[in-house]
Amino acid sequence: MISKIVGNVTPSATCELEGLIGSMKKEGINVVALNIGEPDFKTPEPICDACKDALDAHKTTYVATAGIPELRQAICAKLQRDNGLTYTPEQICVSTGAKQALFNAVMAVANPGDEVIIPTPGWVSYVEMVKLVGGVPVCVPCTPDFQLDLNAIRQAVTEKTAAIIINSPNNPTGAVYSMESLRAVAQLAVEKDLYIIADEIYEKLIYGDARHVSIASLSPEIYQRTIVINGMSKAYRMTGWRIGYSAAPLDLAKGISALQSHVTSNSTTFVQWAALEALEHGEEGVKQMVSEFVARRDYAYERACQLPHVTCTKPDGAFYLMPDVSWYYGKTDGTHVISDSFAMSEYLLQQYHVAVVPGGAFMAPGAIRIAYTNSMSEIQRGFDRIAQALAALH
Stretch that binds ligand GLU, among 9-17, 222-230, 245-253, 322-330 (CB under 6 A): 9-17
* Alpha-carbon dihedral sign for residues 259, 363, 10, 320: negative
Stretch that binds ligand GLU, among 7-15, 50-58, 103-111, 179-187 (CB under 6 A): 7-15
Angle at 61 between CA 262 and CA 79, to 5 degrees: 70
Q: Applying CB under 6 A, which of residues 43, 96, 171, 313 lies at the interface with ligand GLU?
A: 171
What residues form DSSP beta bridges with 94? 245
Strands 320-321 and 368-371: antiparallel
Strands 354-355 and 32-33: parallel
Smallest distance, ligand GLU to C-beta of residue 124, A:
6
Q: How many residues in the chain?
A: 394
Torsions phi, psi for 372 (to 5 deg): -90, 50
Q: Which long-range contacts (CB under 8 A, 24 or more apart) does 128-136 make?
A: 128/9, 128/10, 128/12, 129/102, 129/103, 130/106, 131/5, 131/8, 131/9, 132/5, 132/9, 132/103, 132/106, 133/106, 133/107, 134/5, 134/110, 135/106, 135/110, 135/111, 135/162, 136/160
Q: Which is nearer to ligand GLU, 147 or 373 (CB)?
A: 373
Residues between 119 and 138 with contacts to ligand GLU, criterion CB under 6 A: 124-125
Smallest distance, ligand GLU to C-beta of residue 343, A:
20
Give the DSSP H/E element, type plus range, for residue 24: helix 13-26
Q: Which does 124 bind (CB under 5 to 8 A by kind): ligand GLU, ligand PMP, none?
A: ligand GLU
Q: What would the 3-class secondary structure string for 186-207 be?
A: HHHHHHHCCEEEEECCCCCCEC
Smallest distance, ligand GLU to C-beta of residue 232, A:
13
For position 15 contacting ligand GLU by CB under 6 A, the verdict is yes
Smallest distance, ligand GLU to C-beta of residue 18, A:
7
Torsions phi, psi for 334 (to 5 deg): 105, -25
Q: Which does 16 bind (CB under 5 to 8 A by kind): ligand GLU, ligand PMP, none?
A: none
Q: Which does 199 bind (CB under 5 to 8 A by kind): ligand GLU, ligand PMP, none?
A: ligand PMP
Q: Which is nearer to ligand PMP, 246 or 326 (CB)?
A: 246
Q: Which is nearer to ligand GLU, 114 or 316 (CB)?
A: 316
The contact mask relative to ligand GLU for 27-46 (x = CB under 6 A, - = no) is ---------xxx--------
Smallest distance, ligand PMP to C-beta of residue 152, A:
21
Q: What is the DSSP letter of 337?
A: B
For position 12 contacting ligand GLU by CB under 6 A, the verdict is yes
Stretch that binds ligand GLU, among 11-19, 58-66, 83-91, 383-391 (CB under 6 A): 11-19
Measure the CA–CA gap between 127 and 285, rounded to whole angstroms.
33
Q: Which residues bind to ligand PMP, rule: CB under 6 A?
A: 37, 97-99, 102, 123, 167, 171, 199, 201, 231, 233, 239, 244
Applying CB under 6 A, the residues found at the interface with ligand GLU are 12, 14-15, 36-38, 124-125, 171
